[in-house]
Amino acid sequence: MTKRIGILTGGGDAPGLNAVIRSVVLTAYNAFGWEVVGIRQGFDGLLAGTPVMTLSPHNAYDLLARGGTVLGAVNRGNPFMRPVVQPDGTQIMVDAAQDVITRMHELNLDAMIAAGGAGTMAAALRLVELGARIVGVPKTIDNDLSATDVTFGFDTAVVTATEALDKLQTTAESHHRVMVLEVMGRDAGWIALTTGVAGGADAILVPEIPFDINIVCDKILALQEAGRRYSLVVVAEGAHPIDGEQEYIFHGDPMSQARLGGIGYLVGNAIADCLEAEVRVTRLGHVQRGGQPTPRDRWLATRFGSAAVHFVAQERWGHMVALRGTKLIAAPMQDAAKINRVNPDGEMVRMARHLGIVFG
Amino acid sequence: MTKRIGILTGGGDAPGLNAVIRSVVLTAYNAFGWEVVGIRQGFDGLLAGTPVMTLSPHNAYDLLARGGTVLGAVNRGNPFMRPVVQPDGTQIMVDAAQDVITRMHELNLDAMIAAGGAGTMAAALRLVELGARIVGVPKTIDNDLSATDVTFGFDTAVVTATEALDKLQTTAESHHRVMVLEVMGRDAGWIALTTGVAGGADAILVPEIPFDINIVCDKILALQEAGRRYSLVVVAEGAHPIDGEQEYIFHGDPMSQARLGGIGYLVGNAIADCLEAEVRVTRLGHVQRGGQPTPRDRWLATRFGSAAVHFVAQERWGHMVALRGTKLIAAPMQDAAKINRVNPDGEMVRMARHLGIVFG
Amino acid sequence: MTKRIGILTGGGDAPGLNAVIRSVVLTAYNAFGWEVVGIRQGFDGLLAGTPVMTLSPHNAYDLLARGGTVLGAVNRGNPFMRPVVQPDGTQIMVDAAQDVITRMHELNLDAMIAAGGAGTMAAALRLVELGARIVGVPKTIDNDLSATDVTFGFDTAVVTATEALDKLQTTAESHHRVMVLEVMGRDAGWIALTTGVAGGADAILVPEIPFDINIVCDKILALQEAGRRYSLVVVAEGAHPIDGEQEYIFHGDPMSQARLGGIGYLVGNAIADCLEAEVRVTRLGHVQRGGQPTPRDRWLATRFGSAAVHFVAQERWGHMVALRGTKLIAAPMQDAAKINRVNPDGEMVRMARHLGIVFG
Amino acid sequence: MTKRIGILTGGGDAPGLNAVIRSVVLTAYNAFGWEVVGIRQGFDGLLAGTPVMTLSPHNAYDLLARGGTVLGAVNRGNPFMRPVVQPDGTQIMVDAAQDVITRMHELNLDAMIAAGGAGTMAAALRLVELGARIVGVPKTIDNDLSATDVTFGFDTAVVTATEALDKLQTTAESHHRVMVLEVMGRDAGWIALTTGVAGGADAILVPEIPFDINIVCDKILALQEAGRRYSLVVVAEGAHPIDGEQEYIFHGDPMSQARLGGIGYLVGNAIADCLEAEVRVTRLGHVQRGGQPTPRDRWLATRFGSAAVHFVAQERWGHMVALRGTKLIAAPMQDAAKINRVNPDGEMVRMARHLGIVFG
C-alpha cells in the first residue's frame, strides 16, 4: 500500500537535520515506494496551515551537507498551546493537540517522523497518545541523552570548538596569555569536556561541577612555575561558581551582567584579578550550531533517518531512534527527557583529571 | 612502588598515535606517579638498541594534535626475525623474541604499552607468552576490528576523503562529469563505505563486493536520464571486478597496470569506455593517513592511552583496549586478528542501497 | 535607461564563478537598476537556444560560497564551429558567430559579461568585432595571465593542494617516506610552485623547467645524510623530464602510461628506483577545481563581478577585468592569450632555491 | 665575509611570524652562508640578556605552518624605557636604547631583522639612527599599512572570521535569526569589511564609519519584508555609534560595559530592542590571531623573510619589506606609522554598498 509520510524538525538547530530529511526521503522512496512531504516550521507550521514542501529523491539529494534545516524549526515551549480570543475580547491559551491530528488527516499523512529535542518528543508523544502515528529522531547538540550513545550535531559542535581552542593555543603560547573559551552547554557540559580534552585545556568548567575560581588560578600558577607560561580554560555557558564565590564572580548581579557578556567574560575577569596574566576571552555562540555537518554527523544523521523510516514500517509509534554501540534501536520517546549529565565522579572526569585538567 | 613503563608504536600510520603517547605519559605520571620512556622505531628499534626517548608531562603536552608518531614506526612482517650471518658466510633468519625480553630488562621496564595493528599485537602476544608484561592499544585506520566499535585514525581518514568528495561534487555538477575517488582500504571497505554515504556517492566499490562495471555504468546512465548529469564513484584501493570482467578492467595484466595507476584509474577508464561521459580520477593515497587527528580521534586516542595505563595497573597483560558502546573494555590481543569486513548483506550496505547507492 | 545584461561562464571550473555571477546580479540591480539573465552552458547553450536563467538579488544571494557555476560551462575549442548537414548528406563545420549575435538580440540583451579563460575571451572578442557589446572576466585556476596579478580560484586550488601536502608531511616524517604530490598545471607551474613553497617541499617539478630525476634523488639523499629521513616532492601535471631521461621516465611510451597514472606516478617510480626509500604518490586531480572558494577568492571574484558591471556602464567592450596591485583595471581581451609562465631564472624560483628547494 | 644576523619578533601575534623566521634562516644560510640567531621576547629579551636561540636550517624547517612565534613577543609601549631605582629609593624610567646597541655588539650581530608592528618599527628606526644595522618586516593582522598592498596574518584572520560567518549563516537561515559577529579591528575595519563581503553580510560596522543603529534595523526589516527572514551583521571591535546614539548603545557607561562584553553585544542588544527578532552574538577574539597560517600567508611571510635577508645584503638599514603588486620593495620604516584606513567614500565601501550592504 502506498504510504505518505510527513517529516518535521523542531527545537534548536543541530548540524545533520537536513541529512536526516534527505535520508528519510531517499529511504522511503527506494526501500518502500513511499512519498514524503515536509512540514515547515514544526508543529507551529502544521497548526498554521503553512503549505507543505514536496520532497523527492531529486530535490532532497543536495541536502546531505547543508547546515540548518530546510523545513525550518521553532524553538519554544509547548507547541500546542494557542492563543484564542474570547467573546469578551480577552485572550486565553487553549490546547490544540487535537487540531494537529486533524491537520495530519487533512494532509493525508499515514505517519509522521518528528526530529527534535525533548520538547518535540514530548509533543509527539502527546499526539501518539491521541492516536497519531509518529516515530521520533532525537536531536540535541549537547549529546546529553541517556537513551543514545551519541546524537548528530555534537561532533560538528566539538570540531568547531576544538578548532577555536587549537588557534587560541598557538597565540597563547607565543604571547604568554590565559585564553578563555566559552562554549555551548547550558545544563550539560559534554561539549566543554570533550573540547577541553581534545584541545588540551588546563581547566574545564561545566554546569555539573560548580567551580572555585581559586582552583583555576592555582592551576595556572602551578603551570607558570613549571615553565609553561600560558593556559587554556574552557567554560560551558551554564557553568557557575560555588556558593561562596557567587558575589565575587557575578558582582552581586548575576543576571544582567551574565546576560550581557556571558560567563566566559566573568571567568576571564576573575582570572585576570587573581593572577598577573593577560587574559583574552572568546565566546563562540551559535557558530557551534551552524555550518556543514562533519562526515561523522552526516553518516549518523543518515542512519537515524533511515532507521526512522524502518520504524514507521514496523509501526513503532511513540519510539525514537537511538544508537547503542554500533546498533540502532528503538527507544521510548519518554527517554528523550532522561538527561545524561557529566558525572563529577565518573570515568570521563576522572580521566581528564589524570591528564592534569582541573574542574574548578 | 615506582614503575617505569615503555611505549612503542608499530605498523602503518594513523592519526592519533601521538595523542595515545601523550595520554599514556600524562596518565601514568598524574594518576600513578610512573615514568614513561618512548621506544623508537618499534620492535626494530628495541632490538637495535636505539636510544629511548624520555617522555615527560612537559614534553608530551604538545603531542595531542600532531599527526604521525614521534616514536617512529616500522611497517613490515614479523619484527623478531633477524638476519644472522653464519660462520660459513651465509645469512639465516633467527627469531630474536627472547632478545626483546632481555632488552626490556636492560631498560628497566616494568611493563610496556604497544600501540599498533594486528602484526604488532601478534608480536606483543608472543612476548607476553614469554613472560613480558605488555598491554596493547589497537591501531587500524581501516576500522576493521571486530573487537572494538571504532579505532582512532578512522574518523580523520573519512573526513579527509569526504572533503575531497565534497569538492569533486561541485565541479562534477557544473561540468557534467563522472568523478572517481580512490580511497584507502585494501581488505576492508569501511573508509569507502562511510565516505560514500557521508559524501553522497552514487556507487561505492569495496573489496568485499566484487563489482560489475556494467552495473555502475547503468546507474550513471539512469541518473543522467533522470536529469542528474553527474555522478560520484568511490573506489576502495582493494576493490576488484567480478571474474568475468577481470580481463576487461585489467587489460590482461592486473599487477603491473594496477600498481602504476591504481584501481581508481582502471575503473575510471572503464566508465569512460561504457558511457559518453567525461571521467576524472583522484587518488588520495597517504593524505588519508596524515595530518592532525580530528577532535574525535584525539578524544578516542586519549581515552585509549588512559585506559592502557589503567590496564597496566591491573596487570592485564596480553590484553588490548577496546570500545564497546561508551565503555572501554580489555579484549584479548588475539582479537586483533579478527577482522570485521563490510558484510555485503548487512545493515550498512542495505542502508546504502536504500539511499540509491549501487555497489557494482 | 533600463538595461538587461546576460552573463555566461565558459571553460574549465574555477572556484569563484558563482561569486562573480552573484556580484554581477547584485551590483547591476543595486547600482544601476539593471536586470541580469543567466546564459546556461556558455556559447553552446546560447546557440542551442537553451532557456535562460532568471537571476535576481533574491535567488543569487546564496551563490557566494558555492563551488562550480550554476550556469554550467563547456570546456572545448572554438564554440562557434557547428556541424551542419549538407544536402548530399555529408556534414561540414560552419562558423555560427553571427547566430550568437542574433540570439543576443532575440534575448533583448543590451550587453553581456563573459567569464572564462583564453578560449572564452577569444570567442567574446570575435563577437565584439562583429558588433556585440561584451566585457570579460578572466578565469584561470593556474593564475598564469600576464594581464592580472591574480585570478580567482587559484587561492582555493593552492589551499587544497597545500592541505594535502601538510598531511603528507606528518606521515612522511613518522614513517620515513618520500611523498610525491601531483597537482594541476599543464602549461604553467604556479600551483606547484606556490604549494611547494607554502607546504615546505624539497623538490618542485614544473612544466617550465624540464627535470633531471637524478637531481631530485641527490637532494633526497643529501637530506637523509643530514638526518632528515623523509622528503616531499610536488609535481605539476605538465612536468616532464629532460631529453636524456625521457626513455627512463616514460619507459618508451610516454602517452599511454602517463595518461593512465599521471606524471606523479612516473616520478614516484623513478625515485623508488634510484633510492632505497619507500615512495607514496597522491594525485589530487579535480579536487583542486572544486569546493567552496576561499574567502579571498570570494572577495576577488566579487570585486571582478562588480567591476565588470561598471565596465558595461562605461561601455568598455572588448575589455576584461584585471587586478594590478590593489586596483582593478580594464585590460584588452587579447591579453587573455598572454600567458605568464614560471620564469626559471626569475625571482620566485630563485627565492625557492634559496630555501633549499630543487627544481630537478 | 661570514655574517651573523639576529631576528626578533615584536607586538601582537600574527600568523606567519614563524614562517618569516624560517625563511630568514634558510635564505641566510643557503644564499649567503650566514648564521642566524633568534632573540627571544623582542627588545625586552635583548635588554634582559635572555639567552638567544640558535636557529639552523634543520631546526627552523618545521616552523613554516606553526602559528605564533617561537621567539615570543611582547606587546606594549616604548620597549626602551626601563625602570631604574634611584639612590633615594625612588624609581625613574630611563631610555635604554644605547644598551640595546651594546647588547647587539656583545652578541656579535652584524645586522638584525625586526618583524613587528608600528611600535617595533619605531623602536628599530631609533636604533638605526644610533648606528644599528636593522631591516624590518612589517606585521599587522589588520592589513592597514599604506606602504604595502597586504601583510601576512590578514588572510588567516579573514578565513577564520569568514568560516564563522558561514556557520552562522546556515543556522540563522533555519531559525530566522539575526546573527552578530564581532571581529578584530580597533582602528581599521579591513577584517570586518573583507569578512562581511566574503561571507555575505547585510551590515558591516567599522571604526571608520560611526553607525546609526536605526539604519541597521531598517535594513534587517526591509530584508524581512522581502522574504529573507534572517540577517548577518559583522561588527569590528572598534566600531562605535554616531554621537546621537552613544547614550542608547552604551547605556551611559561606554567603558565598563563595553569592556565586559564587547561592542558586538551592545549592537546585538540594540538590534533586539528595535526589532522583533532573535539576536545571537559571537565574539571571536584572539581565535583570529592564532592557528596555522593559510598557505597564502605562509607564502607571503616566506617572501617577506627572504627579501629581508636580501635587504641586509644590500645594507638597506632603516627600511622594511613591502609588497606592491607582485613585487617586493624596500619602504622606509617610517611608513609603518602611515595607517591605511577604510575610506568611507572609497571603492571598497562603494562596492559593498552596491552589493546591498549597509554600514550603519
C350 within domain boundaries: no
Q: Does one domain contain both D147 and D8?
A: yes
Q: Does one domain contain both B117 and B20?
A: yes
Residue type, B223: L
Q: Which three cell numbers stand for residue A24?
A: 528519510
pLDDT tens digits, D170-210: 999 999 999 999 999 999 999 999 999 999 999 999 999 99
Q: What is the CA radius of gyration of chain A?
A: 23
A75 within domain boundaries: yes
**Half-sphere exposure of residue C134, counting CA atoms within 13 Å on the CB side?**
30
CB–CB of D159 and C58 under 8 A? Answer: no
pLDDT of residue A121: 96
Query: Which among A75, A167, A175 has CB closest to D291?
Result: A167
Q: Which three cell numbers stand for residue B174?
A: 557544473
Q: Does one domain contain both A122 and A8?
A: yes
Q: Does one domain contain both D170 and D283?
A: yes
pLDDT of residue C241: 94
Q: Find, among D10, D140, D152, the residue nearest to D73 by Cα.
A: D10
Burial C169-190 (b: 16+ CB within 10 A, else e): bbbbbbbbbbbbbbbbbeebbb
Query: Which among D171, D262, D284 has CB closest to A286?
Result: D171
**Residues facing residue C232 across a β-bridge:** C179
Query: Which among B27, B199, B354 has CB closest to A355?
Result: B27
The pLDDT of residue A76 is above 60: yes
DSSP D336-353: GG-B-PPPTTSHHHHHHH
Q: Which three cell numbers stand for residue B102?
A: 632481555
CB–CB of C302 and D58 under 8 A? Answer: no
CB–CB of D69 and A291 under 8 A? Answer: no
B124 within domain boundaries: yes
Sheet holding C4-9, edge to edge: C53-55, C35-38, C4-9, C111-116, C134-138, C319-324, C327-332
Mean pLDDT is lowest, of A119-123, C286-290, D37-41, D272-276, for D272-276
pLDDT of residue C258: 46
Chain D residues close to A260, C-beta within 8 Å: 257, 260-261, 265, 269
Q: Does one domain contain both C135 and C161?
A: no
Quickly state the pLDDT bin for B253 (edges 50, 70, 90): low
Query: With contact defined as beta carbons under 8 Å apart, do C210 and C204 qualify?
Result: no
- State the sign of the Cα–Cα–Cα–Cα dihedral C194, C200, C201, C202: positive
Chain B residues close to A57, C-beta within 8 Å: 356
* Residues ≥6 apart with Cβ < 8 Å to B302: A197, A198, A351, A355, B19, B20, B22, B23, B64
Size of interface C-D (CB pairs under 8 A): 118
B127 within domain boundaries: yes
CB–CB of A174 and D69 under 8 A? Answer: yes
C346 within domain boundaries: no
The pLDDT of residue B114 is above 90: yes
Query: With contact defined as beta carbons under 8 Å apart, do B204 and B231 qualify?
Result: no
Phi, psi values for residue A144, rounded to 5°: -115, 30
Say if residue B353 is exposed, middle or buried (CB neighbours under 10 Å; 0-12, 13-18, 19+). middle
CB–CB of D30 and C149 under 8 A? Answer: no
Q: What is d(CA B43, CA B124) in angstroms, rounded to the nearest whole number?
A: 9
Query: Which among C194, C302, C355 has CB closest to D26?
Result: C355
Chain B residues close to A356, C-beta within 8 Å: 26, 30, 57
D314 within domain boundaries: yes
| Chain C nearest-CA residue for D224 | C58
Q: Which domain holds residue A76?
A: 4-152+293-337
CB atoms within 10 A of CB A129: 11
Query: With contact defined as beta carbons under 8 Å apart, do C71 and C10 qualify?
Result: no
The pLDDT of residue D253 is above 90: no
Chain C residues close to B292, C-beta within 8 Å: 170
Q: Does one domain contain both C41 and C86?
A: yes
Query: With contact defined as beta carbons under 8 Å apart, do B226 and B356 qualify?
Result: no
Chain C residues close to D291, C-beta within 8 Å: none
Query: Which among C23, C306, C354 has CB closest to D31?
Result: C354
Catalytic residues of D: 142
| Greatest distance between any 2 Cα atoms in chain A | 75
Q: Where are the alpha helices (DSSP H) in chain C?
A: 17-27, 42-48, 57-60, 97-106, 118-129, 154-175, 190-199, 213-225, 246-250, 254-261, 263-274, 295-313, 347-354
CB atoms within 10 A of CB C212: 16
Q: Find, among A271, A275, A222, the residue nearest to A245 by Cα.
A: A271
pLDDT of residue A20: 98
Measured CA angle at D71 (ends D67, D74), to 5 deg: 95
Q: Is C75 or B178 the better-scoring residue by pLDDT? A: B178
Mean pLDDT is lowest, of A245-254, C325-334, D41-50, for A245-254
CB–CB of A351 and B226 under 8 A? Answer: no
| Chain A nearest-CA residue for B194 | A299
Residue type, D324: R
pLDDT tens digits, B5-41: 999 999 999 999 999 999 999 999 999 999 999 999 9
Residue A155 among the catalytic residues: no
Over chain A, what is the mean pLDDT? 94
List residues of D whose CB lies inside 8 A of any C CB.
Answer: 23, 26-27, 30-31, 57-58, 61, 64-65, 149, 155, 158-159, 162-163, 166, 194-195, 197-200, 226-228, 294-296, 298-299, 302-303, 306, 324-326, 351, 353-356
What's the whole-model pTM score? 0.96
**End of a domain among A289, A310, A345?**
A289
Q: Which three cell numbers stand for residue D123?
A: 623602536
Q: Find, among B166, B176, B151, the residue nearest to B284 by Cα.
A: B166
Size of interface A-B (CB pairs under 8 A): 119
Chain D residues close to C61, C-beta within 8 Å: 200, 228
Q: Does one domain contain both A249 and A274?
A: yes
pLDDT tens digits, A302-317: 999 999 999 999 999 9
Q: Does one domain contain both D281 and D228?
A: yes
Q: What is d(CA A254, CA A236) in angstroms, rounded to the nearest whole number?
A: 16
The pLDDT of residue D323 is above 50: yes
- State the sign of the Cα–Cα–Cα–Cα dihedral C248, C252, C258, C261: negative
Query: N- to C-terminal Cα distance for chain B?
Result: 60
The pLDDT of residue D286 is above 50: yes
Domain count, chain B: 2
Q: Which three cell numbers stand for residue B341?
A: 569486513
How distant is the Cα of B305 from the closest Cα of chain A, in angstroms? 10
Q: Which three cell numbers stand for residue D275?
A: 526589532
Interface probe for B, chosen from C40, C259, C279, C286 (most Cβ of B below 10 Å), is: C286
Chain A residues close to B226, C-beta within 8 Å: 58
pLDDT of residue B258: 46
Q: What is d(CA A109, CA B7) in angstroms, rounded to the nearest whole number?
A: 60
Q: Does one domain contain both A46 and A141?
A: yes
Task: Calculate mean pLDDT across residues B253-277.
Answer: 77
Query: With contact defined as beta carbons under 8 Å apart, do B147 and B322 qualify?
Result: yes
Query: Which among C23, C155, C355 has CB closest to D355?
Result: C23
Interface probe for C, chosen from D23, D158, D197, D310 (most Cβ of C below 10 Å), is: D197
How distant is the Cα of C201 from the closest Cα of chain B, in angstroms? 15
pLDDT of residue B308: 98
Q: Where are the alpha helices (DSSP H) in chain A?
A: 17-27, 42-48, 57-60, 97-106, 118-129, 154-175, 190-199, 213-225, 246-250, 254-261, 263-274, 295-313, 347-354
The ranges of chain C with pLDDT < 70 are: 1-2, 251-260
Over chain D, what is the mean pLDDT? 94
Query: With contact defined as beta carbons under 8 Å apart, do B197 and B158 qualify?
Result: no
pLDDT tens digits, A163-195: 999 999 999 999 999 999 999 999 999 999 999
Mean pLDDT is lowest, of B110-114, B284-288, C83-87, D353-357, for C83-87
Q: Does one domain contain both C205 and C248?
A: yes
- CA C168 to each of CA B16, B291, B292, C278, C282: distance values in angstroms, whole numbers, following the listed order: 15, 7, 11, 13, 9
Residue C258's domain is classified under what CATH number? 3.40.50.460
Residue A63's domain is classified under what CATH number? 3.40.50.450
- Catalytic residue, candidates A142, A144, A202, A297: A142
Q: Which three cell numbers stand for residue B157?
A: 581518514
Location of C-alpha cell 570570494: C298
Q: Does one domain contain both B272 and B197?
A: yes
Residue type, C74: V
D202 within domain boundaries: yes
The pLDDT of residue A252 is above 70: no
Q: Which three cell numbers stand for residue A165?
A: 581552542
Q: Is B211 or B269 the better-scoring residue by pLDDT? A: B211
Q: Find, among B139, B159, B167, B144, the residue nearest to B288 by Cα.
A: B159
Task: Specify the length of chain B in residues.
Answer: 360
DSSP helix/strand/coil, C80? coil
Q: Which three cell numbers stand for residue C16?
A: 569563484
Task: Calculate mean pLDDT across residues B226-234.
Answer: 95
**End of a domain among A232, A266, A289?**
A289
Measured CA angle at D326 (ends D165, D116), to 5 deg: 65
Residue type, B163: E
C349 within domain boundaries: no
CB–CB of C295 and D159 under 8 A? Answer: yes
Q: What is the CA radius of gyration of chain D?
A: 23
pLDDT of residue C250: 76
Say if residue A241 is exposed, middle or buried (CB neighbours under 10 Å; 0-12, 13-18, 19+). buried
Query: With contact defined as beta carbons under 8 Å apart, do D13 and D68 qualify?
Result: yes
CB–CB of B174 and C68 under 8 A? Answer: yes
The pLDDT of residue D256 is above 60: no
Say if residue C85 is exposed, middle or buried (CB neighbours under 10 Å; 0-12, 13-18, 19+). exposed
pLDDT of residue A250: 76
Query: With contact defined as beta carbons under 8 Å apart, do C231 and C172 qualify?
Result: yes
Q: What is d(CA A169, CA A191) in angstroms, rounded to the nearest whole number?
A: 18
Q: Does one domain contain both A174 and A229?
A: yes
